[in-house]
Structure 1
Amino acid sequence: MSKLFPHLFTPGKIGSLTLKNRIMKAPQSSGMSNMDGTVSERLVRYYRQQAAGGAGMIIVEYAYVDDIGAKSAHCHLGISNNEHIPGLAWLAENIREQGAVPAIQIEHCGRQKFLGTQPICAPSAIPWPKLWDQYGVQAVPHVLTIEEIQDIVHAFGDAALRAKQAGFELVEIHGAHGYLLTNFFSPTTNHRTDLYGGSLENRMRIYVEIVRDVRKKVGPDFPVTIRLSGTDYEPDGFPIEDTIELAKVLEKEGIDAFHISGGDHHTMIHQVSPMAIDVCHNVWAAEAIKKVVHVPVIASGSITLPEYAEEIIASGKGDFVGLGRPLWADPEWPLKAMEDRPEDIRPCIRCNEGCLERTFFNFKAITCAVNPTISREGELDLKPAAKPRKIAVVGGGPAGMEAARVCKLRGHEVTLFEEKELGGLLHEASVPEFKSDIRPLCKYLITQIEKLGIPVEHKKATAADLAGYDAVICATGSRPILPGVPGIDKPGVMDALEVLNGARKPEGRIAVIGGGLVGTETALHLAEQGMHTTLVEMLPKIMNGVAATDQLAYSERIAKADMEVCTGTRLVSIGDGEITVSDHTGTHTIPADSVIIAIGLKAQDSLYGELCAQGKEAYLVGDAVHPGKIFDAFHTAYRVAWKI
């Protein structure tokens, strides 16, 4: 029993089920099923590891309920016909063998059909904006007839029965996140005038009919839960008051627990919140539902750390917590929390780079920026090195620390060289409050270096220092690029990293040159501190290559800050109290007392080149390969250290 998180590790009941703790794996599409929706070996390996991590229940990702329009995404899990049952039974049994209760979510995608193929079924012919942008008129939904609605209702009931037959011990109906049921529930997407549209009673009708059909087919004692969005966060959507009324009705229909989330795929920052959005983002909605129902409530959404989860249970805001991305970052999150080792949990930083950015519109299986092994279970597992070697890692940023950690776990003798403090650019990256999720990650990496007893040489390593090592991993990072424009050497000019690490302090009117990730975040950070900031970007838009959810979150913050954005604008020169720029209108000046350069970074790979010239076995990882993101640092470092 955990002393740090006692409420989190008490048993809990949902209907006839008793769970060993209050932690559930929330359902998330993985893109790892076979094309026909059947269970793949890869999917089984993935869920087996998730279940071994200590969660009380694993809710398997959403499974489509019919073969007409329910399937949403590539390699989407199916439960639409009896041929899916053998694989589902295999999956359920593997989860149970690892000590977790196997559950599964069933769904119909409605208008959110990432595949973009017809039929796209919805209550009204209102396309999902993202799909419209990609596919045009092909994205306009087919308006469901009453007979077709009834077929879907029965398909949910049949799918729930298949789940029971396959050995799952609970079924969750997906009634959230902009899929079919919320298409009926939200006035944004339901413009019907028949018995399925208009009044709240009509808009919730399909929920009631599905719950009744499911309950009829699985029996009175089989646990059935439903996932609801507290609100869809749409301006003309449904508020929490509507969801409260829906929950009251569904409890009377026999729902055993409510799994509360928020948002839809149009308001994605409220559904899969990036780090610029507050943690535990939708817990308020779970708390609101819990006040009016008498069955358990599962809180979910950006509950990244065990102290957050403990507080939710202890304060009565929820009875259980659903963890999605945190169990991708570290499948052993529950076990480590239970053993009072929260410092060993690799934290989710909500970057969405490895998961959301890869999956629905890039048609890849999920992975994680900070955990390269997710979806590669059994392939990238760490094994002892065939021959332990003496290895030097040069650079104590995220790539260097990850490489050192993995090499040490494999049995190598490792020394880490870092001229400054451990953490590298994680320190600068985490300075803005809207990037604070990175701070626990930096702390985690430093803690692992300390716990593993890896010696750290605080010096700038030279080739001579490395002569006695069998191999060298160069994680030497990158340095800012400065443009060759007149005035670049003026005293008011500085680079973004100097500003973020406190080495330089901008004053007066500020111009930030470069609207990529670093430039945008630096400008926004300063603007939110009350400094008037102008962001100058030569491309037609800012935040190119930035995760979609970050773009949305930052755009909202920029609109509220004292910040101007000039796109299609090139820096010409830097003067006293101003900069000269050119755009489609010609050349003009912008007032600027301080000029911050953020046009990019250049890899520092000279040591690697010197070592290679000497015939030394050397490897490049992280920014030293190519300046990138945290994702690139972890993935390059892990793979190099995994194979040495």
Structure 2
Amino acid sequence: MKKMFPKLFEPGQIGTLRVKNRLVKAPQTTGLSNKDGTVTQRLVDHYTHLADGGAGLVIVEYAYIDDIASKSCHCQVGISSHEHIAGLGWLADSIKNHGAKAGIQIEHCGRQRFLGPPMKSASPIPWPMLYDQFHTIPEELTIDEIQVLIEAFGDAAKRAVDAGFDLVEIHAAHGYLITNFLSPFTNKRGDWYGGSRENRFRFLRQIVENCRKKVGPDFPLTVRLSGTDYEPDGMTIEDTIYYAKELERLGIDAFHISGGDHHTMIHQVSPMAMPVCYNVWAAEAVKKEVHVPVMASGSITLPQYAEDILEQGKADFITLGRPMWADNEWVKKAMEDRPEDIRPCIRCNEGCLQRSSFLGRTVMCAVNPVLGFEEDLAIKPAETKKRVVIAGGGPAGMEAARVLKLKGHDVTIYEKRKLGGYLHEASAPEFKEDIRHLIDYQIHQIEKLEIPVICEELTPEMVKAGGYDAVISAVGAEPVIPPVPGINGENVINALTILDSHPEIGRKVVVVGGGMIGTETAIDLAEKGHEVTIVEMKDAIMADCAVTDIIAYYEKIGRNRIAVIPGLRVTEVTDQGVRGVNDRTGRRTELPADSVVIAVGLKPRHAFYDTLAGEPDLEVYEIGDCVKAGKILDAFHTAYKTAVRI
């Protein structure tokens, strides 16, 4: 028995399936399949690395069940045809060859079809985001079409069995087609499949009956349900408990409980502004009413959270989505009693959602540049050992140092302030706690690898005199100071200073700049009791934020009564506040303020790199914010991909 997390590593049972521990890789789309849904080498590499990481069960991302309208997004894996079986068998066997049980999730996307028409649903109610994009209203499924889909789900489940999977999960959560029937928010039908709770459940009941008939009585069959879709007049936890009880009677072997849909995305893929373990309450509610295992899901980022959930009897299994993308060895490290070595998911949604799903790219992770490139970007020993010095100990500098040390190089970091760089400012608000875990992880890696850290500024002269083979500039960026009269007044302070040293400021505050830094600073100040106004020159604030942050931050802005004035260019700062002009209308505005906070962006520090570039017999590199002021994803990716080539 492991001393730190004993509950996590107890064996478990899902129907007839014996699972070696209580940790499950939750299904998440990767975009790593071929366009026709067939399996690729990249997809197999991805899942074998996950299986190597120690999870008892790996559930492959949702697979579309027909070739009409069930496919949700680009390069999604398919299970709609007999021709998919060969590749799926390769995938299932590869997962099992690496020590995990293999499951697969089957689904129809319903109204959440990122590929545009044809789009089918229970009722012609669009998801606003896709309506804005495609101007498509979902077609209401006819009775005949429903019968065809019921058969398609059963056929897909049978293909999974034939391919060698150990378990099939029916996706009835997150706003996909089955949820479109289950939720009164999206089901306005007047026939057998609409109206009462019993009628809304009919579609799922018939799907389960068909799947069970085709996979046999003993094959493990599970269902994923949203505890609630968090929609007005939507599906309630009482609905979900009813559905779960009925499904148990039909022979379902376990329930995977999460919440939300794409319209209420912050409840489905909760950002760091939301509480951790966000939908565990729903798993607990279902577990009290059923007699089969329940899997808890959603923002369970750290092993201690998972252990507590099991210890308190809130669930029987823990499913990990984003956390196992951030670190595929999450399970192995927890099992070896070294949680400090787990690279934590910070729930930024920047790579996995914003830059991959929404842009039609393959999966990415802000803190794990290897994701999706598990073989291509693997760390390999360097052919020639080099002496490398790194200027700057922020996230980019520390990640580069870690990779270089693992490759066998001699590495030294110079950091004049403290390890972590601007991560300290980024993690200052209470709702940014996830980043503090990332700082702890990175510093621990530097200490564990015994990488020297010298607490002073590295100069070009020191590099030239140091006999180094390579130097990496990771000196970051500095605040932009707009050329505005009064900008140096005593009542003016930079946002980074606010977040770093928390100086005394007045009660009434105007924040100039509505990007991520300005918005987060404004919310932090408002939650501490200040009266805050955000002024932004663009037509909208948060242009550089992930969509889930935008939704969560707008809720905080409303709750804290923060005034937002877009389209206003500040022309002067005075002792009494700011003056500005709307460049479209020419209207001039004066805003009174005790303190003015400047947050108009960052500019890269190029001077260090430029001074050394071209120096003979010296390799010179630039990473992180000093390449281009960006986000944590940019820091980690530029650092890793540079260091792995040295």
TM-score, normalised relative to structure 1: 0.99
1:384-395 → structure 2 map (5 Å cutoff): 384-395=381-392
Query: Does the CA contact (< 8 Å) of 1:530 and 1:562 recur in 2?
Result: no
> 1:436 Cα deviation (Å)?
0.8
Q: Secondary structure at the match of 1:154?
A: helix
1:452-491 → structure 2 map (5 Å cutoff): 452-467=449-464, 468-491=467-490
1:197-208 → structure 2 map (5 Å cutoff): 197-208=194-205
Cα shift readout 1:164-203 (whole Å, capped 9, x = no counterpart): 1110010000000000000001111111000000000000
> 1:463 Cα deviation (Å)?
1.4
Once residues 168 and 574 of structure 2 are traced to their aligned partners in structure 1, the CA distance between those partners, rounded to angstroms, is 66
Q: 2:425 matched to 1:428?
A: yes
Tell me which residue corresponds to 1:621. 623
Greater alpha carbon shift after TM alignment, 462-471 vs 172-181: 462-471
Q: Following TM superposition, where does structure 1 have runs of at least 4 consecutive aligned residues deviating by more than 6 angstroms?
A: none
Q: 2:595 matched to 1:587?
A: no
Residue in structure 2 matching 1:277, options 274, 277, 282:
274
> 1:122 Cα deviation (Å)?
0.8
Query: Does the CA contact (< 8 Å) of 2:325 and 2:371 recur in 1?
Result: yes
- Give the direction of change, closer, same or farther, for the CA distance of 1:184–1:503 in structure 2 (3 Å limit): closer
Once residues 396 and 326 of structure 1 are traced to their aligned partners in structure 2, the CA distance between those partners, rounded to angstroms, is 24
Cα shift readout 1:479-512 (whole Å, capped 9, x = no counterpart): 1011111111111111001000016332221111
Q: 2:570 matched to 1:571?
A: yes
Q: Percent identity?
A: 59
User: How many pairs does the alignment contain?
Assistant: 641
Tell me which residue corresponds to 1:643. 645
Residue in structure 2 matching 1:294, options 284, 291, 297:
291
Tell me which residue corresponds to 2:74. 74
Tell me which residue corresponds to 1:326. 323
Once residues 596 and 155 of structure 1 are traced to their aligned partners in structure 2, the CA distance between those partners, rounded to angstroms, is 58
Once residues 105 and 545 of structure 1 are traced to their aligned partners in structure 2, the CA distance between those partners, rounded to angstroms, is 33
Cα shift readout 1:604-632 (whole Å, capped 9, x = no counterpart): 12111111153432100000101000000
Cα shift readout 1:292-312 (whole Å, capped 9, x = no counterpart): 000000000011010110011
Tell me which residue corresponds to 1:495. 494
Tell me which residue corresponds to 1:352. 349
Q: 2:239 matched to 1:242?
A: yes
Once residues 339 and 315 of structure 1 are traced to their aligned partners in structure 2, the CA distance between those partners, rounded to angstroms, is 22
Tell me which residue corresponds to 1:92. 92
> 1:360 Cα deviation (Å)?
2.8
Q: 2:447 matched to 1:450?
A: yes
Tell me which residue corresponds to 1:606. 607
Tell me which residue corresponds to 1:597. 598
Cα shift readout 1:66-119 (whole Å, capped 9, x = no counterpart): 11111111111111111110000000000001100000000011111110121x
Cα shift readout 1:105-146 (whole Å, capped 9, x = no counterpart): 00011111110121x11111111111101011xx21121111
Query: Does the CA contact (< 8 Å) of 2:357 and 2:363 recur in 1?
Result: no
Once residues 97 and 3 of structure 2 are traced to their aligned partners in structure 1, the CA distance between those partners, rounded to angstroms, is 27
Tell me which residue corresponds to 1:550. 549
Once residues 445 and 506 of structure 2 are traced to their aligned partners in structure 1, the CA distance between those partners, rounded to angstroms, is 39
Once residues 515 and 586 of structure 1 are traced to their aligned partners in structure 2, the CA distance between those partners, rounded to angstroms, is 20
Tell me which residue corresponds to 2:115. 115
Cα shift readout 1:414-473 (whole Å, capped 9, x = no counterpart): 000000110100000001111111000000000000000000010011112212211000
Q: 2:191 matched to 1:194?
A: yes
Counterpart code for 2:61: E
Q: Secondary structure at the match of 2:360?
A: coil
Tell me which residue corresponds to 1:633. 635
Once residues 374 and 514 of structure 1 are traced to their aligned partners in structure 2, the CA distance between those partners, rounded to angstroms, is 33
Query: Does the CA contact (< 8 Å) of 1:23 and 1:334 recur in 2?
Result: yes
Counterpart code for 1:107: E
1:207-218 → structure 2 map (5 Å cutoff): 207-218=204-215
Tell me which residue corresponds to 1:523. 522
Counterpart code for 2:598: I
Q: Secondary structure at the match of 1:354?
A: helix
Tell me which residue corresponds to 1:62. 62
Tell me which residue corresponds to 1:146. 143
Counterpart code for 2:577: E
Once residues 112 and 511 of structure 2 are traced to their aligned partners in structure 1, the CA distance between those partners, rounded to angstroms, is 38
Once residues 475 and 537 of structure 2 are traced to their aligned partners in structure 1, the CA distance between those partners, rounded to angstroms, is 29
Query: Does the CA contact (< 8 Å) of 1:297 and 1:319 recur in 2?
Result: yes
Counterpart code for 1:539: K
Counterpart code for 2:431: F
Counterpart code for 1:101: K
Counterpart code for 1:562: R
Once residues 445 and 96 of structure 1 are traced to their aligned partners in structure 2, the CA distance between those partners, rounded to angstroms, is 32
Once residues 588 and 127 of structure 2 are traced to their aligned partners in structure 1, the CA distance between those partners, rounded to angstroms, is 41
Once residues 478 and 503 of structure 2 are traced to their aligned partners in structure 1, the CA distance between those partners, rounded to angstroms, is 16
Cα shift readout 1:356-402 (whole Å, capped 9, x = no counterpart): 11233311000100000000111000000110100001100000000
Query: Does the CA contact (< 8 Å) of 1:114 and 1:360 recur in 2?
Result: no
1:17-36 → structure 2 map (5 Å cutoff): 17-36=17-36
Q: Secondary structure at the match of 1:437?
A: helix
> 1:585 Cα deviation (Å)?
5.7
Counterpart code for 1:224: L
Greater alpha carbon shift after TM alignment, 497-506 vs 523-532: 497-506
Q: Secondary structure at the match of 1:231?
A: coil
Counterpart code for 1:501: D
Once residues 280 and 557 of structure 2 are traced to their aligned partners in structure 1, the CA distance between those partners, rounded to angstroms, is 26
TM-score, normalised relative to structure 2: 0.98
Once residues 255 and 76 of structure 1 are traced to their aligned partners in structure 2, the CA distance between those partners, rounded to angstroms, is 26
> 1:576 Cα deviation (Å)?
1.1
Query: Does the CA contact (< 8 Å) of 1:533 and 1:564 recur in 2?
Result: yes
Once residues 218 and 575 of structure 2 are traced to their aligned partners in structure 1, the CA distance between those partners, rounded to angstroms, is 77
Q: 2:75 matched to 1:47?
A: no
Residue in structure 2 matching 1:378, options 360, 375, 378:
375
Once residues 588 and 394 of structure 1 are traced to their aligned partners in structure 2, the CA distance between those partners, rounded to angstroms, is 44
Gapped runs of 5+ residues in structure 1?
none
Once residues 506 and 5 of structure 1 are traced to their aligned partners in structure 2, the CA distance between those partners, rounded to angstroms, is 45
Once residues 615 and 130 of structure 2 are traced to their aligned partners in structure 1, the CA distance between those partners, rounded to angstroms, is 54
Once residues 283 and 535 of structure 2 are traced to their aligned partners in structure 1, the CA distance between those partners, rounded to angstroms, is 42
1:306-321 → structure 2 map (5 Å cutoff): 306-321=303-318
Once residues 103 and 493 of structure 1 are traced to their aligned partners in structure 2, the CA distance between those partners, rounded to angstroms, is 57
Counterpart code for 2:609: Y
Query: Does the CA contact (< 8 Å) of 1:531 and 1:562 recur in 2?
Result: no
Once residues 189 and 302 of structure 1 are traced to their aligned partners in structure 2, the CA distance between those partners, rounded to angstroms, is 26
Once residues 134 and 75 of structure 1 are traced to their aligned partners in structure 2, the CA distance between those partners, rounded to angstroms, is 19
Q: Secondary structure at the match of 2:571?
A: strand
Once residues 5 and 499 of structure 1 are traced to their aligned partners in structure 2, the CA distance between those partners, rounded to angstroms, is 39
Once residues 504 and 452 of structure 2 are traced to their aligned partners in structure 1, the CA distance between those partners, rounded to angstroms, is 34
> 1:562 Cα deviation (Å)?
3.3
Q: Secondary structure at the match of 1:336?
A: helix
Tell me which residue corresponds to 2:511. 512
Once residues 259 and 201 of structure 1 are traced to their aligned partners in structure 2, the CA distance between those partners, rounded to angstroms, is 21
Gapped runs of 5+ residues in structure 2?
none
Q: Secondary structure at the match of 1:71?
A: coil
Once residues 535 and 231 of structure 1 are traced to their aligned partners in structure 2, the CA distance between those partners, rounded to angstroms, is 34
Once residues 98 and 375 of structure 1 are traced to their aligned partners in structure 2, the CA distance between those partners, rounded to angstroms, is 18
Once residues 585 and 515 of structure 1 are traced to their aligned partners in structure 2, the CA distance between those partners, rounded to angstroms, is 20
Tell me which residue corresponds to 2:14. 14
Query: Does the CA contact (< 8 Å) of 1:605 and 1:625 recur in 2?
Result: yes
